[in-house]
Structures are given as C-alpha cells and as structure tokens.
Amino acid sequence: MPVLTREEAQTRARILDVHRYAIDLDLTTGDDTFDSTTVIEFTALAAGDTFVELKPAVLRGATLDGQPLDPATLDDNRLPLTGLSEGRHELRVDTAMRYSRTGEGMHRFTDPTDGETYTYTQLFLDDVQRVIAAFDQPDLKAVFDLTVTAPDHWTVLANGVTERREDGRWKAATTPRISTYLVAVAAGPWHSVRTEHAGLPFGIHCRRSLAPHLDADAAEILDVTRRCFDRYHEKFTEPYPFDSYDQAFVPEFNAGAMENPGLVTFRDEFVFRSAVTVAERQTRAMVIAHEMAHMWFGDLVTLKWWDDIWLNESFAEYMGYQTINEATARYPDTWIGYGIARKSWGYDADQRPSTHAVAPDPEAVPDTASALLNFDGISYAKGASALRQLVAWMGEKEFLAGINNHFARHRFGNATLADFIDNLATATDRDVHAWADAWLRTTGIDTLTADVTGEPGRWTLALHRDGSRPHRATVGEVAVVDADGGAVG
C-alpha cells in the first residue's frame, strides 16, 4: 500500500481547496462491515490529476460531478481523479468499510460482561481512509457534516453536538474547518454523565458495565475538566473553538488518549475499577489537561506536515503539567512527578544511537510512515522540557503573548515551526530563532553542575554548564541541621 509522501501532499495542497465533507455512516449492517457514503465538495485551483484515499472492503461506486468513475481504477488505497478542470467539483464515493479489531479506523468491541457492542474511531495520521474517502493530509482542512444510522438503543457522539432525528438517524452539528485525522465518531449504548459549563454541554461517557466506576469518579473528572477549561481561558485569548466537550472512555484503545475536537477519547483503564494511588489520579488529570490543550494547539491551529507533530505533543505535554499544577490544589507537585516519570524518558531516548533533534529536518520526514519514527520520548518529554526552559528564558507573559498571536494568525488553519517561532518573536526582544536552532535542531544533553564552597552562612555557589544551549535556572538554598539544631550544610 503506498503511503503519502510530503512532496505529494504539497502538490495536492497547491491544486485543491477542500470545502466540505458530507458523511453518511450506517452501523447496522453487520459485525464485519459498515456502510460509508462520502460527498466531498472541493475546488481545483488548476487543471490536472490527483487522487483521493480510501481503504474499502467494497467500493460500490463513485461519481465525479455526476459522472461515474471506474471502481477498477482503485489502486491499493488511491482512487485517481484524472482530467480535473479548474473550478468546483463534487465527488461521491459509496463503500462498505471493515470494522477494526486493532484500533485503526472504526474499532468495534463487544463487552464480554453484558454482550453490548461499541464502536469508535481512531483516525490519527492516515487512518481516516478506513472510514471514509478523503484527501487525507492535515493541511487540507474542511467542514464536516455527519449522519449516522445506529441501533435503536445506541447513542452517537461526534465532534459536534448530536441529536436523534425523527427518522431515527443521528445528525451531528457541522464542524468548523478541521483536519481529516481529527474526525471522530463514538457509538454504542454509552453510560453518560452530562453537565454544562461556560454555556457549553460537557459529558463523560463509558460502556455500561463500567457505569458504577465512572459514577464514583465523575465529580473528580468533571472538576478537573472545568478547572482546566477555565485556566486555559485565562491563558488564551481565543475562546474554546468548538460547540461541546465530550470525553469518552473507550475499550481496547490503542493509545493513551486522542485529541479529537469536541470528542476526546481515552483508554477506559482511566475509569478506575479499584483503589488507586494519588499519582495515578494525577496522571489521569494531566492527560485530561494535555488533551484539552490540543483543542487550541493541534485542532484550532494544526501542523502542515508530520515533521511538526512533536510541537503538538510537546506543547500539550508542557501545558498539561503546568495547568494541572496551577488549576488543581489537589495536585500541586506535578512537575516533580514529571521529572521522575517523564523527563527520564526523554533523557534515555536522547542518549541512544537513535536520538534525533526535537524538531527534525523536514527532509527526515518524507512520508507518513517515517513520521511515526519520531513519536517518542524526545517528541514528548524532551520537547516539553525545552518549552519549559523557553518559558523561563523569555518569560511566561511573553510566551503566552506569542502563543496568542499564533492562534489569532492561524485559527482554523495550518502552521509550521517557523510560524510558531515568528509569532513568539513578536512578543520578546530575545533572539527566539537562535534559541530554536540551539535547542530544537540539535541532539544530546547539556549538563549543569553545581559547585558549592565555603562554610555555613557563607556559601558560594558556582553553576557550570557542559554544552552550548542558553539556560535560565532558579537556584534555591536549603538549610540542613543536625539533631541539636546546628547547621551542617
């Protein structure tokens, strides 16, 4: 199966402007496949050829501007669109798609406890084509309209508010412009706890067999969610950009969580079935904060290509820990936990032969397959540590001003690392570009060593650096006394 190359994506982005997807899913057709019909409205900015991606069980038919396309031309996952004229077009694709049992595309799960079935999407990177036909790259954003046929006792969740119509089908509110990999559906007989905050509907959801456990923790989960939501609105001038905020704890999830706009999915191990430690609750709270940060950085403003995936994750990692530290009195020491559990992950990755720069050279990510090679402790932990150092180096007020410039300039669009650094530079007189070159384009660790001389009451501290990156450090003094109260260090 061919993967999408960066060069192909750039070519397609130059010749296409995608406006709207109308998606119709039928989840009542059996255990193995579901029906998927996609109508894509787009403009060809120049005459020529291109292709749309899909991975169907059966391609029943496709039309371009009402004219049939030959299903036999589907080559692996690419349906060619040849001889496009300049101007507006409508592509319609009718398929049967396979359910997944491994978390890619539309995952289907039957709960052994009660026999109830649940489906949900995980479309990260290039798996939307397992559910619908799509121009599957992050910089071809569009609005999405979704209709779903589901069993009578199911509830359907999506990126926007959903309602069940008189004909029994579920209709989701039209999304703002988002990337294809962020489209989300979760359908099944969910147990739901719903509330409202800041004028928006909030909900948490899990399979019915876990209902008592979710109910036991619902107040805590929703309290963390509200506190993070409010804290982000203190930090960001751009309001929350979607019409609702649902969090679904889904079974057999193949990741920790996914930042789908308006419908975040989490592995349902976060619905605790027994007594757990405070550290485990803190981790859950941080993941909630991490995914919410993505609503702005990742969903509102999205990378152009996968070489910048580190920036999505590093920003959310930094902002998640910082926001939980600020917003919840129950977890005031999150950065200590980060230093123990996460930062060491980055240190380890950065000292192996496989280390790479936090921000890889674009040429090092030539296609979607290679993008996953950089999805590691450097992309998350080292990148978050670098951003934390950046905040200390340029000042939090200036950092947030630059971030807000970034959101304002690129809202519902796409941006690169260069755009991010340029926007930070508008808020400070420090050389942010040089900082980025030193911290983000290099590999390996710097070492800071403290040299203390003198005697109690008259200590002298010298801080030595082995490395070339700029640092700003806060130094604290701790008095150590013996049993008789005498100072010993």
Q: Examine residue 219 and state whether it is found in any structural domain, yes or no.
A: no
Is 140 part of any domain? yes
Q: Indicate the residue among 189, 210, 228 that finishes a domain.
A: 189
- With a cut of 80, say whether residue 482 has pLDDT above it: no
Q: Which of 1, 7, 2 lies closest to 305 in space, CA to CA? A: 7
Same domain, 322 and 402: yes
Dihedral, 43, 55, 371, 415 alpha carbons, nearest 10: 20
List, for residues 182-208, the tens digit of each pLDDT value.
999 999 999 999 999 999 999 999 999
- Residue 479 — pLDDT band, cuts 50, 70, 90? low
Q: Which of 2-16, 113-127, 378-392, 469-483 has the lowest mean pLDDT?
A: 469-483
> 396 CB contacts (<8 Å, ≥6 apart)?
none
Q: Give the rounded percent of residues in the chain with a pLDDT score beyond 90.
A: 86
Catalytic status, residue 291 = yes
One domain for residues 431 and 464: no
Kindly state whether residues 9 and 129 are assigned to the same domain: yes
Q: Tell me how far apart the alpha carbons of residues 164 and 146 are, in angstroms, rounded to a whole number.
A: 12
Write down which residue in 125, 158, 189 finishes a domain. 189
Q: Of the given ranges (54-63, 354-363, 395-404), which has the lowest mean pLDDT?
A: 354-363
In a domain, 271, yes or no: no
Taking only the tens place, the pLDDT of each residue in 13-64 is 999 999 999 999 999 999 999 999 999 999 999 999 999 999 999 999 999 9
pLDDT band at residue 475 under the 50/70/90 scheme: confident
Q: Which domain holds residue 455?
A: 446-489
59 part of a folded domain: yes
Q: Does residue 321 sit in the same domain as residue 389?
A: yes
Across the chain, mean pLDDT equals 94
Is there a single domain that holds both residue 21 and residue 83? yes
Segment 71-90 shows an average pLDDT of 97
Domain identity same for 16 and 113: yes
Stronger pLDDT, 375 or 253, i.e. the higher one: 253
pTM over 0.85: yes
Summarised one tens digit per residue, pLDDT across range 432-470 is 999 999 999 999 988 888 888 887 777 787 887 888 788
Same domain, 435 and 452: no
Give the pLDDT of residue 372. 85
Locate 458 and state its tokens.
């008259």
Q: What are the two backbone dihedrals, phi and then psi, of residue 216, each rounded to the nearest 5 degrees?
A: -65, -30
Long-range residue pairs from 149-154, CB within 8 A, at least 24 positions apart, any chain: 149/24, 149/25, 149/26, 149/27, 149/28, 150/27, 150/28, 150/187, 151/27, 151/28, 153/189, 154/27, 154/187, 154/188, 154/189, 154/190
Interval 307-327 mean pLDDT: 95
What pLDDT sits at residue 473?
Answer: 77
- pLDDT level of residue 322 (50, 70, 90 thresholds): very high
Is residue 40 located within the same domain as residue 135? yes
Q: Are residues 114 and 169 in the same domain?
A: yes
Give domain status of residue 224, yes or no: no
The mean pLDDT value for 236-257 works out to: 98
* Residue 472 pLDDT greater than 90, yes or no: no
- What average pLDDT does the segment 131-136 reach? 98
Q: Identify the active-site residue in 53, 291, 313, 317.
A: 291
Residue 163: both structure tokens together: 């309602």
CA gap 83, 73 in Å, rounded = 14
Given a contact cutoff of 8 angstroms between Cβ atoms, the answer to whether 156 and 33 are in contact is no
The count of structural domains within the chain is 3
Q: Is the pLDDT of residue 477 over 70?
A: no
Does residue 2 sit in the same domain as residue 106? yes
Q: What is the CATH number of the domain that holds 387?
A: 1.10.390.10
Residues 122 and 26 in one domain: yes
Give me the residue label for tokens 């950089």: 374
One domain for residues 472 and 348: no
**CATH label of the domain that carries residue 68:** 2.60.40.1730
Percent of the chain with pLDDT over 70: 97
